[in-house]
Structure 1
Amino acid sequence: MTSPRPTPTRTRGWVLGRVAGAPVILAPSWLLAAVVLTLIFAPSVRARSDVGPFVYVVALGFVVLLFASVLVHELAHGLVARARGQQPHEFVLTLWGGHTSFGGAAPTPATSALVAAVGPLANLVLAAGFLAAAQAVDEQSVAGLLLYSGAISNGFVAVFNLIPGLPLDGGRVLEALVWAVTKNRSTGTVAAGWTGRAVAVLLFAWALVWPLAQGVQPNLVSVVWTSFIAAFLWAGATASVRHGRTQRAVSALTVEAVASPAVGVPYTDSVAHAGATAAAVGAHEVVLLSPEGRPAAYVDRTAAAAVPAEVAGTTPLTTVAITLPVGAVVDGRLTGSGLIAALSDATRLSPIVVAMTDGRVVGLIRATDVVAAIRA
């Protein structure tokens, strides 16, 4: 699977090496998966091949082979992504198989679809290779058992990942297709996320509801295992839907939507004169400008309102102002992700920043208002 969002910190686990400039990480949860899968596959090994006390060794060999195939799948994602200008952040093997994270989202639908599709394609190539090699050995031997298992597992990984629903690779391809048609990435993400939810429900129904409808007692192991997979798919699909909606809100974001109208006045102004200036232009906020024209502070409206009217004309505006650090300014013409990036930089200096257009103060933006707008 691929993850288009940047991962700020490295996943916990053991670093096995580096490929394409990114670490290959074995997460601790992989050990749990290895133990569980070894116990599950051991009876099949015992039934198909006489390996005596080495049954668990052979079963573990199959598990290692399976996860090596998953690693090839993830490396294929990363290598093709890097060739398309998208730097991989890390390759991780986990309880659920693996995932590849990138330092940013794919720039085009074509890149997103290609990076997603190449993983399952690599597994199909491996499946064909294992199947061809298996023809040359005794299928009852340990080598034959492992080779046939490798062919089947790679075929399964490829087909399963091509299911058109996020967070699977097929879902990423569907997302890219909808994105290309609608010219809107977030629409594709939401659509593929809902499809992923439907896949999770159908998978659970196949394991539990379908056998009951046929009058057959469901297999407990199959129901439990399928439920875990369905829950994982549902969680990933739900996160994708939320991410798509957030991206849609971000893309529609403007300064006018999040800023309180403001006006800039000289720092030498009085409380009364600044209030009259703001009222004349319909502004709710007042920003004090330094002699160079830089936003230096903003008026605390509660403090300004507490100044008695009879002394407001002689009270310096600086007495009711809160200082702004240099750089707490954004371009009032920015929109969408560009605005969010600028606000991210500016709010590191102050939770309240000034929006300016062509050197003129147009608004005062509070970080809490931006968060509320995106959530809404």
Structure 2
Amino acid sequence: MEETPTALAALVARIDRTALAEGMLATFRTAIPGYERLPDTVVRGQILDIIRDNLDLCLDWVAGGAPPSTERFAEFRASAKNRATEGMPLEDLLRAYRMGGTAAWKVLVAEADADAAAGERDALPRAAELVMEYLDRATGTVAEAYLEERSHLVSEEERGLRALLDVLLAGEPPAAGHHATAERLGFVVAGEHAVFAVGLPGEGARAHARVAAGLRGGGTLALTEGDRVVGLAAVGRAPGTALPPEAVAVVDAAVARDDLAASLADVRLGLDVAVRAGRTGAIALPELALEVLLARAPRVAADLRRRALAPLGEGELLETVTTYVELRRDRKRTAELLHIHPNTLDHRLRRVRELTGLSLDVPEDLTTVVLALRAPA
């Protein structure tokens, strides 16, 4: 007969770790500036994995497992070093661990309230001890790794560059120290600047740091933000030909200082869109205007796809609509490309109208379909 599980083991077993991890991630992104700035590829990849691994180690220990060994913290050390390379403040990193520990503790208390008869509430003090001890071990490990990496990567010059970027984005007048930093870089502070974001799909923080350093060599203010590089360039100096062939760069038009922060938010989102689409090379932000607008309203975008495309399925009707729109509603060219008779094309378009209630001859309906085709699946 199997051994009766302890009160804490039974309590931990009822916790939905996936939902808890997602909740923590959402809180980090809204409450901690350093996490809000990270690209989606890092957040939905490495950060979410680290959150879940932390939860597993902590809750497994609370449930009666063995204390986590030093080797189990290796991935956390690597993640902390990446955050250090990106320039995330150590306080932001440690705050995430504190908030995560608080969230886990609240869930344990709530679950114990639901089944107090099992003696679980009496076991909560021991759970608190284990959660606090786990946090002490984890934060000590990540802080050590973070500081070790920053000692290698962060110089006074880099801190000066970040301060220069921050003051320009804030629309504040640069001080004498900022002007000195810009002069050493060869960066012209006065006038308009083009904001850009660069990504190397599949590469980590170190590769992006090398790209940022290369761009700075050309007099461009460029800094890393996780799996991307962002910065400002004087007119005519935007990144492009100097980047590796696998890189993708999204560049906005030159704007005045008051618009730099808004422009940076747009190019960050544009880079996420371009990476998901598998684009490479330099892309002007206006080329991604529709995708960026839709990315800012994911629920609206999803509703557009459901209304305009879902009724068509994945077969010939969807292919017909896609081709017809791409060819600017050229009936003859569409029929030729699809190897069908024009009358067959007309029949398919009528079927599309019947299924969706949208006619590609009506401007409002055509706009809906175009947006739906651009919306992320």
Please, what TM-score do these two structures have when normalized by structure 2? 0.28
- Of Structure 1 and Structure 2, the greater helix share is in 2
- Higher relative contact order by CA 8 Å / sep ≥ 6: 1 or 2? 2
Larger Rg: 1
- Of Structure 1 and Structure 2, the greater strand share is in 1
